[in-house]
Chains A and B, each alone.
Chain A
Amino acid sequence: MIVDGRRINSCLTLAVMHEGDAITTIEGLGEPGNLHPIQAAFIKHDGFQCGYCTPGQICSSLAVIEEINANIPSHVTKNLTDQVAITAAEIRERMSGNLCRCGAYSNILDAISDVAGVKA
């Protein structure tokens, strides 16, 4: 989920520690008939199978794009002092905290790249 603009693991924090925080979950992005563009992209690219990890993948995707735009470096960032570029490698590395056992990774990357404007 996204708390005050940052993605975190909901299972590793206490609700009482977030009094007054702005929290966005998958339900807050879009709904059937009125999808957020990232939700539509996941459907278009079949970026899920069983669907169980999908809310996390989608919320994480949005935050990843924001993190890159905010020039936060990652393990695959070539030069720490340059502006971070939106590349497939950056997205893959940053999405690695979201496991998908169905193995939809290749399609998820396509979905995120589509929304972020990256050539996959």
Chain B
Amino acid sequence: MRSFSYERATSIEAALQAAARNVDARFIAGGTNLLDLMKLEIEKPSHLIDVNGLGLDTIEKSPEGGLRIGALVRNTDLAADETVRRDYGLLSRALVAGASGQLRNKATTAGNLLQRTRCPYFYDPNQACNKRQPGSGCSAFGGVTRQLGVIGVSEACLATQPSDMAVAMRALDAVVETRGASGAKRSIPIGDFHRLPGDTPHIETELEPGELITGVVLPPPVGGKQIYRKVRDRASYAFALVSVGAVIHPDGSGQVAVGGVAHKPWRVEDAETELSKGARAMSAVLMEGARPTEQNKFKISLVERTLEAVLKEARE
């Protein structure tokens, strides 16, 4: 970890100005991912702006009848919120499937969206990684890839986005609200928020430098059966090999997003028209164009089988 300076921001404007003053600055909220990466010098900010005092920690009804979740609401509190449990059960389920109790107590809504990949080559500074060091190459290619991406991957990067919460938010059509460096407000649909790696895997989201997430808005409750199914080797405290977040309506229609397969929560709206035909039909469209490796091709059938199990549960 390199030495860094630290300040506590007392307002959103102050936080944005502080970020504008220092291009190497990072906002810190829960810090559970950032500090880990700083110790390994994968993240090397020279300045930290503590945004925990900004008051963005409330959950309230949105004017449209949905829910506005402050950027700093802790994962524990979001999962335990009465409205979330009742109307957005998928989100609550995804949150408690992630990390550990200790981490969820610190981790925030915005931080969870921004958590970085768990690709082991990204974590080892001796290995080439385009995400860590643009242009250095991808040592995961041809290496150990069982956990890595199978769809939307590029020659430059096989990494996956590890967030469970983001998968739920993708299925629920959340919108990320931000304030740009100039103070301007912006709303980014979750589907546009995370990027595919392409040849710039180090650019993971649509956020501009110095832009601050202030909250996430969920549309009005959609009802349906809400299921989050996370598949992993261990029973707990492990990243997903595959996860399926779904809202299934009584008429068989629904919204489905998949985690553990891509650089972003994977959802193909066109595939959902196949949902009534069953898991096989839908996942054929959903996973079309997948480019798995020998080690992770099992994820293709695992997505289908997991979706099948989710649909079965929805029928029960």
Contacts and interface: CB of A to CB of B under 8 A. Distances in A.
Q: Do chains A and B touch in the complex (CB under 8 A)?
A: yes
Interface of A: 6-9, 11-14, 16-17, 60, 63-64, 67, 70-75, 77, 80-81, 92-94, 96-98
A97 B99 contact: yes
13 contacts: A6-B76, A9-B103, A9-B106, A13-B31, A13-B106, A17-B28, A74-B101, A75-B96, A75-B97, A77-B96, A80-B93, A94-B101, A96-B237
Given A12-B36, A81-B86, A97-B99, A6 B105 contact: yes
Contacts of A11: 35
A63 B6 CA distance: 30
A17 B50 contact: yes
A14 B236 contact: no
Contacts of A7: 101-102, 105
Contacts of B85: 73, 80-81
Interface in B11-70: 28, 31-32, 35-36, 48, 50, 52
Given A17-B50, A73-B92, A93-B236, A12 B106 contact: yes
A11 B93 CA distance: 26
B302 interface: no
Interface in B200-253: 230, 235-237
A8 B85 CA distance: 23
Contacts, number: 79
A9 B6 contact: no
Contacts of B152: none
Interface in B232-291: 235-237
A41 to B, nearest CB: 19
Contacts of A92: 236
A104 B77 CA distance: 30
Interface residues of B, number: 30
A74 B102 contact: no
A89 B103 CA distance: 20
B101 A13 contact: no
Q: Would you call the interface of chain B mostly helix, strand, loop, or mixed?
A: helix
Q: Which 7 A-B pairs have the closest CB atoms?
A: A97-B100, A96-B236, A80-B85, A72-B80, A96-B237, A6-B105, A12-B32
Interface of B: 6, 28, 31-32, 35-36, 48, 50, 52, 76, 79-80, 85-86, 89, 92-93, 96-97, 99-103, 105-106, 230, 235-237
Contacts of A71: 80
A109 to B, nearest CB: 14
Contacts of A96: 100, 235-237
Contacts of A98: 100
Most chain A CB within a 10 A radius of its CB, from B36, B97, B102: B102
A46 to B, nearest CB: 23
Contacts of B79: 72-73
**Most central of A9, A64, A75, A92 by chain B CB within 10 Å:** A75
Contacts of B89: 80
Contacts of B97: 75
A14 B6 contact: yes
Nearest to A74: B96
Given A71-B80, A72-B80, A97 B237 contact: yes
A1 to B, nearest CB: 9
A9 B237 contact: no
Nearest to A1: B102
A97 B106 contact: no
A9 B102 CA distance: 6
A11 B36 CA distance: 8
Nearest to B84: A80
A72 B76 CA distance: 7
